[in-house]
Amino acid sequence: MQKLGIIGGSGVYSLENIKIVAEHIVDTPFGKPSDAVIQAEINGAEVYFMPRHGRGHSILPSEVNYRANIFALKTFDVDVIVSVSAVGSLKEEHAPTHFVLPDQFIDWTKGGRQRTFFGDGIVAHVSTAYPINKTLQERIHENCSKLDIKAHKGGSYICIEGPQFSSRAESELYRSFGADIIGMTNVPESYLAKEAGMAYATIAMVTDYDCWKEEHVEVESVMAVMKTNNETIQKLMMTLVPDLVKNPIEFRKENAVGVMTPENLWTEEQSKWMKVLLK
């Protein structure tokens, strides 16, 4: 049975009509996740939430243990993930309060994030040529359309280290790449989901125009738009979650074919967590 996971902030897991079933504290081979895995029901549909920055938003993008978050969800057999995150816009048409459903990522982080489950004796190469599951992306777009939510399908998300917003020169550079939106969290999250054999798609909620336009980006204005975006995402989740649970998507897991190291060379501990990743 296919299970759905949502990674996002308080605007996602504080829905008015959500029923909390249980909260699971999970220890992983990769350390502590951001928070407990919140098992819940929305309109009778089961879903598993991971608060990316912890409840209370106390974890910086660079401090998020992305491996532990993905692994924790995988232990509950979650194999479809909808990521929800705030982003800046690098294109005029992606206005604040709009949603963008990207299909590509550009990693512009500084190399300090743990971005693979493999190493330490296990070699694997998993393709991230198409990090977004197109079927999942399309289903999200269909639900947005039904609710008259302005959502742009396609485009590239450039992931920076943060926590500072970009300089004007950096913002112009990213625009020259052809990137559509800019954020701080979806890499390595999306790549790790591929390594774990999960279908992954992002709902990027635009809060501002970064700083390439003349307007100066301030936290206060961003927070005001985030309030509107949170109201919109809550409305979307009430229909999207039941739709994805009752009508599962079909996809092919690509992670197992990328493992190069024979199983007989794995340690006993590696065998345990590899079986979780590959199931």
Two tokens at 165?
């917003």
Amino acid identity, position 138: E
State how far the Cα of 148 lies from the Cα of 142, in Å rounded to an integer: 10
**Chain centre to alpha carbon of residue 217:** 24
Neighbours of 114 (CB within 10 A): 14
Active-site pick, 77, 120, 208, 243: 208
208 tagged catalytic? yes
CA distance to 115, 127, 169, per residue, from 132 (Å): 17, 12, 29
Local structure of 65: helix, strand or coil: coil
Structure tokens of 89? 């816009």
Q: Are 85 and 206 in contact (CB under 8 A)?
A: no
Structure tokens at 243: 């739709």
Measured from the Cβ of residue 222, the count of other Cβ atoms closer than 10 Å reads 16
Contact criterion met (CB below 8 Å) for 13 and 241: no
The pair of three-digit structure tokens given for residue 13, joined into one six-digit string? 């897991």
The catalytic position among 35, 103, 180, 210 is 210
Instruction: Please indicate whether residue 210 is annotated as part of the active site.
Output: yes
The enclosing H or E element of 181 equals strand 181-183
- Residue 73's identity, in one-letter code, is L
Measure the N-to-C terminal CA separation of the chain; round to a whole number of Å. 12
Residue type at 172? E
The residues assigned a catalytic role are 208, 210
